[in-house]
Structure 1
Amino acid sequence: MKLITTLIILVFSAQGLLAQNNTQVSGKIAGENNSPLSSATVVLLKAKDSSLIKSAVTNSSGIFKMISLKPGSYFISATSVGYEKNSSPIFTITDGQDFNSPTVTLTRISKALSGVTIQAKKPMIEVRADKTVFNVENSINATGSNAFELLQKSPGVTTDKDDNISMQGKNGVKIYIDGKPSQMSGADLAAYLRSVNSADIESIEMITNPSAKYDASGNAGIINIRLKKNKNYGANGNFATGVTFGHTPKYNNSLSLNYRNKKINIFSNYSNNYGHYRNIFNLYRVQNDSTYDQHSINLNNNKSNNVKAGIDYSINTKNIIGVMVTANFNNSTSNTNSNTVISPNSTGTPNRILYASNDLPGDRNNVDYNINYHFADTSGRTLDVDADLVNFRRRGSSYQPNYYRDPFTNALLDEKIYSNNTPTNIDIYTAKIDYEQPFYKGKLGFGGKLTDVKTKNTFDFYNVNGGIPVKDMGRSNKFNYDENVKALYVNYNRSLSKKTTIQAGVRMENTKSEGDLISNVSQPDNTVKRNYTDFFPSGAITYKLNEKNTFNLNYSRRIDRPGYQDLNPFEDKLDELTYRKGNAFLNPQYTNSFQLSHTFLYKYVTSISYSHIKDYFAQIIDTVQNKSFITQKNLAQQNIFSLNFSAPVTITKWWSSFATLNAYHSAYLANFGIGKKINVNVDALSIYTQQSFSIKKGPTFELSGFYNTPSVWGGTFKSSAIGSVDVGVQQKLFKGTGTIKVSFTDVLNTLHWKGISDYGGSHLEASGHFESQQLKINFSYRFGNNLVKAARQRKAAAEDENKRLNSSGGIGQ
């Protein structure tokens, strides 16, 4: 209850301010000869202390408008590239009386500027009609975290006990890195995300209904993790170091070195994460005539190193070519120790205890080589070409001793010792082209993509007798999987009027795949071939009712293909009684999604949506004899109705707030035979809130938290409520070039998960928690040139400012 009470107070502190005054200020920004200046930046400042109240940009007629203002004394300040800044006289507005400011005239700069320092701080959370953006670099509590931990705290995003990622109640989220889809899934994806330091991340974008330009995969939408890239001219860099105190200390460091001039942009980043991580897992299982009560502790010694380096060369003002290498090297040693008390249901008295351990040393190395070309001219035509080669290598082994002992005398009753060797090679080749140009008063885009994936998995299983491993040919195998996807798309958007904008597109994808299981034991799924073509339409219409209200309706059809490891049918033992098994017959899942959203005052967003998922992926815990195993199966369908409300609020000049609420109803339906029917309905609610408190020339404080009501994982597991609260403080040092951040996560120690399942003739209760309560201390220091040249940075600077204006009440899209 203490967590719920805390979060309710936080949420309602961000609300109640929607009913604001209707007073507005408008005016014109002009250049020489009273000619209108479009895209000029206009800010409304308080006369008393020059504090920022509102921002806007001028339209093609040089007109700006700001709404919902409180009575008081203000003045206007206007800027535009190539012009001197100028301000209006101080004026006073009264409640309910609109004010038309005198024209503010800007004078051209007589000499070219050698440099312009641009410092535009983005809000931590930006809510737009098509996506939500979490600006990681502006969050205190994000410091010292990895990418997976940041996703757990992102608005509308949840993770389950097996590290599967969901968004707004839907699984099948596709993870993108810098706009490129990651081909990893499951444990490999989770391991990679945990290796990415928050110091390397600029923002996380959550896109619920992507357009036809994006790959059709990802039924819940796309989460795009944008890594930092140099935008400043000259030589510059950034160094960061941090320590995390949890069950054991953990360390993270990062260094970026960059150089940029009018022709060349050279960028490089290195980061690492070192530390031991602890996870607790409990599984209580009633199956057939026995009860199994398992308790396990996993300790993972993780060492990850990330490298990103590249160069962009400007051939001329229209053409840029670049090369980039992104690499992740992850070395980990995982050790799990468990004990399982086994009792006959007839007596309830334990008759044996299984003591098991599992040592898994391994390496995961992922390297992406990219070459890219960008063309843009003044008429609005753009062309982007990308070619990538991705090499993923995983080397793993396992040593699994299992000892059955008498619960009273500790006498050894039986022992079974196994080991395995599991190398995996994945090579991915992609080529992509995107073209856009003005067409019939709008913008037409089209392009294509070719992806070729080759996967090779080896599973060598050994029985260890007398300390000597003997290969079990009946359990050993090789699994090769090849997949080829060809895609073409067309997308068009235009404004039908000053109030109405439309976007429509369709993507065609042909998928050809073949999975071959090479084994001494013949199975019905030794070879599985598929060849299918699908069309994925998408569309949106935006209607601006007035200056305060905008409506958006969109639709998309999407696909989720099975992960490469989920198709591999060999059995991967976790211990003597538990194993994981792939499903070569797993079908893709398809989703049709509809969403209607309403934006009020450019920042308060309410949306309702419906999604129907066919052949929904469900991670099922099934049973065979006295053993349980995890596998993926297709449910018949899933239906989701959801309601989302997001509200960024500036309460005072020193207190800003953000809150989002997501409520959804989900229904799962499947029939796998007697005792294996699924008909589950769930109503769930998730709340996320973030409060920031700034002291002038002093520290900034942050309080954030989330709460998820009981829900369902994978169609069968009914989960308990879960949530946490984090606190943090930040202080600028060395005239703003240095920053120290301190945060304490999961203050109330409530981030413990639990789930119950009754499926396949067995009753399961699973629970556990990871090392969530941590003290994190991080320091960063910027050095070198931080000036941005006006001539080359003009467009990028405008883009950053527009993002800021869209969330601060200015006139944006």
Structure 2
Amino acid sequence: MIISKLKLTYLFIFLLCIFSKGFAQSNSGITIKGIIKNTQNDAIDGATLFLKNGADGEVVKQGLTNTDGTFSFAVAKGGYVLVVSYLGVLAYQSEVLKLSDHTDLGIIKIETAARSLKEIVIQSSGKKPLIRIEGRKMIYNIEKSITAQGTNVLEALKKTPGVIVNQDNSITLNGASGALLMINGRQTYLQTEELAQLLKSMSSSDLKSIEIIRNPSAEYDASGTGGIINLVLQKSIAEGFNGSINNGIAYGLTVKQNTSLNLNFRKGKINLFGSYNHNFGHFAMDYDNDRTTNGKIYLNSSHDVDKKHNIGSTVGADYAIDTAKTIGIVMNGNFSGGGGLITPITNIFDQSTGQLLQTLRSQSSYPSQKANRYNVNLNYRYKGNKNNTLDIDADYGIFDAATKNLSTNTFYSPEGEFQSANNFLVANSRDIKLYAVKADYGFPVGKGRMVTGAKYSDVSARNIFDQYDVNSGVNVIDINLSNTFKYQEQITAGYLKYETSLNDALQMDIGVRLENTHSTGDLKPHEGSTQSADLVTRNYLNVFPTASITYKTKESGAYNLSFARRVDRPAYNDLNPFSYPVDELSYWKGNPFLQPQYANTLALQYSYKNTTVSAGYTHTSDLSSQITEVLEGNRIIMVPRNIGFQNNINLTVTQQIDLVKWWNMSLTGIGYWLENKVGTAAYGDYSRSRLAGTINIQQNFKIPGHITVEIAGVVNSKNISGLNTYVKGNSQIDLGLQKNLMNDKATLKLAVTDLLRTNKINTDTQLNNLVLHTTYAGESRQIRLNFTYRFGNNKIKTKDDRESGLQNESQRL
């Protein structure tokens, strides 16, 4: 403990020295500056400025003039167009400015009489492709997909190339588990079940794009051995008031309704924004869980109806102190609540004779379920004249969840006669509080730029599990099957990254991140229980190096080679050593000795025009996976364990094709080889490997009547999930139609998803004397109708993402 504290002390002293040096460092870099005045030679305060890429018209910088009319932007070498807007109308637009050094535009005079000005329209001069590459990011512009609308974000996420959402809602990326999901650069602080509820409470129509970052730099938290999936939400900074409303209806087995509303108001230095969305309706699932063990066959089929309603909301404000400084606040609320019903039937057979021995009829009813998340973010952004930047974020979050489950279990003879019954009620509450503060500072050093930062996060989680015997008609708590588990974790981190251009074609960056983790898990049984109290404390320091080198020319394209080391810490509940009953015959239990898993990834990427090819290798040590084991009485228990290591070799090819002017196609093919090597005393030494792949195709074309048609399909081959679960291949074909109405202020979209109803999950697992087979089918085939109306001033469109600093802990709650 003392050694770790000394290490942290030295870390912060080192970072303090870097900060001090950065503020004293002589500034370098390319800047463009000037003064905005009216025709009477008066300085204009609060004029809006946009700096667009001269090649494609994409807005790369935006800001406001100071009280003396001055402005300044720090940019890279290249061609730009400066646009000035005042009182919501176009006041000035330059020719393409070729910048190779510091540039002073001097005084720019604009006409401020509103009657003589035109409205400003800022948008890309070319079509954005469905998939594009920016540095280490692959960006999937999901807003361009017709068939992704009218559903929730979890369902829309399944359309992203390389992303697979498994039956338990865990997410894999290019065959590797441990992908870290972020929203606008912020962590959610939720583990798999709660994260799924959050994504279900978000509307897919609010998504702008999905970013895949395979090898993040040292600026990012080290969590996520599979890489990072960042959801970027829609937003606008148009002058005045504007917004959009989307209403939709869908039908699978039952009717579902979705609504989203986005509002934005900007005037002068103030920007106010808010959003609301909901997804109402029931969602049905059918699944089988069959197993063979100890001479018996258990054939289980279940019908599950999720009756929860999901609501999400955001309110925020930004204030531009001047062209360089901005402060802001963002408050989010996500709410999920409602009932549910699961009706399983299990037939038990003798393996040798095939004779029916017993039938178990069960019912799990959820009279009440809730999962509410609240988060507030305060942020400060500074972008100096000469490439100095400072970002500060402070976050506070609360997650409040509770579930009641009444489980009835009745055994019958082969003739249908009653044998025995066991009924119980489970009341489970989960309360989590999250704090984090983060600062990042960038400044020029020599011919390059140094970025350094520090972060501290604190997570406190309490899980109360109470089980009641209800067979007598009175709820009597079973103290031997009830407990309270408290978990607290603090992560202190600091990093350094240096990036520079060696010449016009060659760029590189190198970084290192240090993260110290201190955690305490405390299991407290009820007084008089046969359980034992358990307290596990950990403290460890990790080093995570990153590096990247890029060679780029207009003639040959761009080559990028990158390396990163990353970590997956155990989910908080995975450390709880208590056994939870899933039903009469199966249990789940945490492992207090579960260790983090670590991954080293090397990736090579090439992109040229509309083609991108990438290859990578990842080695994961201390691989953790959920293992199903057999207990006495033919019951099974699922336990997370560290079981060995994993190798992943992958290749991805993305091609954008314009077949004709009115027909374009996006094709992504992913192939990977996955190997799990197990070496434990309980399971022996063995290896499981598999070559697998995924193909995503999306086509868009125009037909008469100004209608856009989309045909999208995905095919997944057989693959490995977890330790040794083989997942059979599946596929999905979607069809969508879109037509703009009311002078392009409204859009009508009609889609049919999973036309052939082939998106089903089938898995097979064998471990020692246990054989498992599962199938799963949800309401993947739906017909969806959505109408979107945009109102107010939507003439100005820009690239501006509000991001906060929480980037690590929440996916494990």
TM bucket normalised to smaller? 0.7 to 0.9
> How far apart are the structure 1 equivalents of 2:120 and 2:801?
16
Query: Corresponding residue for 1:473?
Result: 479
Query: Corresponding residue for 1:609?
Result: 616
Change (3 A) 1:446 1:525: farther
Map 1:128-139 → 2, pairs under 5 A: 128-139=134-145
Q: CA deviation at 1:678?
A: 4.5
Map 1:278-427 → 2, pairs under 5 A: 278-360=284-366, 361-408=368-415, 410-427=416-433
Q: CA deviation at 1:285?
A: 0.6
- CA deviation map 1:181-227 (0-9, x unaligned): 12111211112112211122221111111110000000011111112
Task: Find 2:629's aligned residue among 606, 622, 626.
Answer: 622
- Partner secondary structure for residue 339 of structure 2: strand
Give structure 2 stretches of 5+ with no counterpart: 1-50, 58-74, 85-91, 97-106, 803-813
Change (3 A) 1:474 1:678: farther
Q: Is the 8 A contact 1:161 1:753 kept in 2?
A: yes
- Partner secondary structure for residue 169 of structure 1: coil
> How far apart are the structure 1 equivalents of 2:600 and 2:245?
45
Task: Find 1:196's aligned residue among 191, 194, 202.
Answer: 202
Query: Corresponding residue for 2:462?
Result: 456
- Partner secondary structure for residue 736 of structure 1: coil
Q: CA deviation at 1:696?
A: 7.8
Q: Is the 8 A contact 2:574 2:591 kept in 1?
A: yes
Query: Corresponding residue for 1:729?
Result: 737
Q: Is the 8 A contact 1:604 1:648 kept in 2?
A: yes
> How far apart are the structure 2 equivalents of 1:340 and 1:542?
57
> How far apart are the structure 2 equivalents of 1:426 and 1:678?
39
Change (3 A) 1:584 1:412: same
Q: CA deviation at 1:161?
A: 2.0
Identical positions, percent? 33
Change (3 A) 1:472 1:786: same
- Partner secondary structure for residue 158 of structure 2: helix
Query: Corresponding residue for 1:507?
Result: 513
Query: Corresponding residue for 2:448?
Result: 442
Map 1:701-780 → 2, pairs under 5 A: 701-780=709-788
Query: Are 2:582 and 1:580 equivalent residues in the alignment?
Result: no
Q: CA deviation at 1:755?
A: 0.7
Change (3 A) 1:780 1:546: closer
Query: Corresponding residue for 1:657?
Result: 665
Task: Find 1:116's aligned residue among 95, 108, 120.
Answer: 120
- Partner secondary structure for residue 157 of structure 2: helix
Q: CA deviation at 1:115?
A: 4.2
Query: Corresponding residue for 1:81?
Result: 83
Change (3 A) 1:690 1:42: same
Change (3 A) 1:268 1:545: closer
- Partner secondary structure for residue 351 of structure 1: strand
> How far apart are the structure 2 equivalents of 1:736 and 1:168?
38
> How far apart are the structure 1 equivalents of 2:118 and 2:434?
44
Q: Is the 8 A contact 2:236 2:800 kept in 1?
A: no
> How far apart are the structure 1 equivalents of 2:431 and 2:566?
28
Query: Corresponding residue for 1:219?
Result: 225
Q: Is the 8 A contact 1:42 1:79 kept in 2?
A: no
Bigger mean CA deviation after superposition, 115-124 or 680-689: 115-124
Query: Corresponding residue for 1:269?
Result: 275
- Partner secondary structure for residue 324 of structure 1: strand
> How far apart are the structure 1 equivalents of 2:738 and 2:489?
48
> How far apart are the structure 1 equivalents of 2:143 and 2:592?
41
Q: CA deviation at 1:597?
A: 1.1
Change (3 A) 1:412 1:137: same
- CA deviation map 1:359-397 (0-9, x unaligned): 123100000011111111221111111100000000111
Q: CA deviation at 1:269?
A: 0.0
Task: Find 2:191's aligned residue among 170, 185, 189.
Answer: 185
Q: Is the 8 A contact 2:235 2:800 kept in 1?
A: no
Change (3 A) 1:314 1:251: same
> How far apart are the structure 2 equivalents of 1:506 and 1:726?
44
Change (3 A) 1:168 1:398: same
> How far apart are the structure 1 equivalents of 2:445 and 2:523?
50
Q: CA deviation at 1:327?
A: 0.7
TM-score (norm 1): 0.84
Q: Is the 8 A contact 1:676 1:761 kept in 2?
A: no
> How far apart are the structure 1 equivalents of 2:182 and 2:587?
30
- Partner secondary structure for residue 193 of structure 1: helix
TM-score (norm 2): 0.84
Bigger mean CA deviation after superposition, 464-473 or 674-683: 674-683
- Partner secondary structure for residue 467 of structure 2: strand
Map 1:677-692 → 2, pairs under 5 A: 678-692=686-700
Task: Find 2:598's aligned residue among 565, 582, 590.
Answer: 590
Q: CA deviation at 1:575?
A: 1.1
Q: CA deviation at 1:526?
A: 1.3
* Amino acid aligned to 1:385: I
Q: Is the 8 A contact 2:184 2:801 kept in 1?
A: no
Change (3 A) 1:183 1:347: same
Query: Are 2:665 and 1:632 equivalent residues in the alignment?
Result: no
> How far apart are the structure 1 equivalents of 2:504 and 2:582?
61
- Partner secondary structure for residue 213 of structure 1: coil
Query: Are 2:787 and 1:783 equivalent residues in the alignment?
Result: no
* Amino acid aligned to 2:380: Y
Query: Are 2:656 and 1:648 equivalent residues in the alignment?
Result: yes
> How far apart are the structure 1 equivalents of 2:728 and 2:421?
36
> How far apart are the structure 1 equivalents of 2:285 and 2:603?
38
- CA deviation map 1:660-690 (0-9, x unaligned): 1111111101234455655201110111111
> How far apart are the structure 2 equivalents of 1:150 and 1:352?
42
> What is the root-mean-square deviation of aligned Cα atoms in Å?
2.3
Kindly tell me the number of residue pairs found equivalent between the two proteins.
708
- Partner secondary structure for residue 635 of structure 1: strand
- Partner secondary structure for residue 192 of structure 1: helix
Query: Corresponding residue for 1:555?
Result: 563
Query: Corresponding residue for 2:178?
Result: 172
> How far apart are the structure 1 equivalents of 2:363 and 2:800?
57
Change (3 A) 1:797 1:512: closer
Q: CA deviation at 1:278?
A: 0.6
